[in-house]
Chains A and B, each alone.
Chain A
Amino acid sequence: GAGVSQSPSNKVTEKGKDVELRCDPISGHTALYWYRQSLGQGLEFLIYFQGNSAPDKSGLPSDRFSAERTGGSVSTLTIQRTQQEDSAVYLCASSLGAGNEQYFGPGTRLTVT
């Protein structure tokens, strides 16, 4: 079956512009995670969705970052007024439930110029 997909694969944007990153999780996976990974660094947790529960937003670095998950499936991560320090690979992962093994998408490489 299809794995986790993300789009776009690459995004170059000018400082100050807004961007939207999309994640399509594996069908049936109730848990969805967003992470940020800078070059050569670890995984920085951003936000977590589990079913219909309120999302865990504790990792969002500022109020410029937001995410939503519609219908318990597709998720969109939005970054407003992008800054150069937002440049990174944004990874989405899904799992059957909280704490289960996570399946990662290929990521979106965001470059803010």
Chain B
Amino acid sequence: GQQVMQIPQYQHVQEGEDFTTYCNSSTTLSNIQWYKQRPGGHPVFLIQLVKSGEVKKQKRLTFQFGEAKKNSSLHITATQTTDVGTYFCAEKISSGSARQLTFGSGTQLTVLP
């Protein structure tokens, strides 16, 4: 079945440092979505990537989709305490499950002031 690998599982950074989380799939993806869940909250949609090699930016967040559409990354520049939370990727494979979206295990980010 489809494997959704997300690394690292945990990341502690000092405020101002950069942070990156990666998602890797064993199959070619149709698209990939990223969500953020604040502590005590629910996941909130951030962005969707569709095209091979696509790069999108949201302020200090940069999202990339691999050329082979099998991996993606989320990079945060100069982290702030408001970035604290768990970041999930959600992968849509090109064919297969009617459900179509599979969530990664998440990367829990802690930002130390």
B residues near A53, Cβ cutoff 8 Å:
98
Report if A56-B98 is in contact (Cβ < 8 Å); known contacts: A42-B103, A42-B105: yes
B residues near A45, Cβ cutoff 8 Å:
99, 102-103
Q: How many residues of A contact B (CB 8 A)?
A: 22
Please determine whether B98 and A43 come into contact, CB atoms closer than 8 angstroms.
Answer: no
Report if A98-B98 is in contact (Cβ < 8 Å); known contacts: A104-B43, A105-B42: yes
Please determine whether B42 and A104 come into contact, CB atoms closer than 8 angstroms.
Answer: yes
Please determine whether B88 and A99 come into contact, CB atoms closer than 8 angstroms.
Answer: no
A residues near B103, Cβ cutoff 8 Å:
35, 42-43, 45
Interface string of B71-105 (1 = CB under 8 A from A): 00000000000000000101010000111111111
Whether B44 is near chain A, meaning CB under 8 Å from some CB there, is yes
B residues near A56, Cβ cutoff 8 Å:
97-99
Please determine whether B48 and A101 come into contact, CB atoms closer than 8 angstroms.
Answer: yes
B residues near A98, Cβ cutoff 8 Å:
98-101
Contact of A91 among B31, B42, B101 (CB under 8 A): B42
A residues near B31, Cβ cutoff 8 Å:
99
A residues near B104, Cβ cutoff 8 Å:
42
Whether A107 is near chain B, meaning CB under 8 Å from some CB there, is yes
B residues engaging A (CB < 8 A)? 30-31, 33, 35, 41-45, 48, 88, 90, 92, 97-106, 108
The 14 listed contacts between A and B (C-beta, < 8 Å) are: A35-B103, A42-B88, A43-B88, A48-B99, A50-B98, A91-B43, A99-B101, A102-B33, A102-B101, A103-B45, A104-B43, A106-B41, A106-B42, A107-B42
